[in-house]
Amino acid sequence: MGLFETHPDVQEVFAPFRGLQVEQVKHSKELRSHALRVMGFVEKAVRRLDQPDKLERLIRECGRNHCHYGAHPHQVQLVVPQFLQAVQPTLGDEWTGDVESAWSTLLHNVTYIMREAMLEEEK
Ligand code: HEM
């Protein structure tokens, strides 16, 4: 929701959310299902941290898929600060500088590789 508020163009990429008010999107089942997909992907990525080649293939595929969803390469990185802000309160005292830096590094790498794959797909 934070991302849609700061970047309304991102909301437009999701067909079911076009033209909807913030409150309508907030309670939609499509928003919940996309959030679960993103978190499912992050979980998969974390499980493959010790298999960098596999992980990169997975991320590239996700990036290529996003081209077909109509997302722009520059939009993917906008998720990083929003992701950190959303996860921080759920961890309470366990949110340390090291934890923040680990999530930030993971998300920056994921979104960087997605963007590269999208730019290649667009060529
Ligand atoms: C870290 C960033 C992101 C991750 C990890 C991510 C992950 C995913 C995943 C796993 C799916 C399910 C389908 C598939 O496996 O390809 C999906 C679908 C989708 N994503 Fe993303 N996404 C990200 C950012 C974005 C952004 C910034 C946008 C919009 C500009 C976007 C738009 C969409 C759309 C339109 C779909 C298809 C509809 C849906 O599944 O609800 N995604 N995303």
Residues 19, 16: Cα–Cα separation, whole Å: 9
Where residue 9 falls among pLDDT bands split at 50, 70, 90?
very high
Looking from the CA of 73 toward its CB, the CA atoms found within 13 Å total: 14
CATH of the domain spanning 2-122: 1.10.490.10
Ligand 1 pocket at CB < 6 A: 10, 13-14, 33-34, 37-38, 41, 62, 65-66, 69, 71, 75-76, 79, 110-111
- Burial environment of residue 117 by CB neighbours within 10 A (0 to 12, 13 to 18, 19 or more): buried
| Ligand 1 center to 11 CA (angstroms) | 12
Quick one: which atom of ligand 1 is closest to the CA of 40?
A: 10
The pLDDT mean for the chain works out to: 93
Q: Whose CA is nearest to atom 34 of ligand 1?
A: 69
Q: Output the pLDDT for position 60.
A: 98
Quick one: which atom of ligand 1 is closest to the CA of 15?
A: 35
| Ligand 1 center to 92 CA (angstroms) | 27
Q: Output the pLDDT for position 88.
A: 95
| More confident of the two residues 122 and 97 | 97
| Angle between helices 52-68 and 97-122 in degrees, nearest 10 | 60
Tell the residue number behind the tokens 């997909």, with chain if given.
Answer: 37
**Token pair belonging to 45:** 């990525």
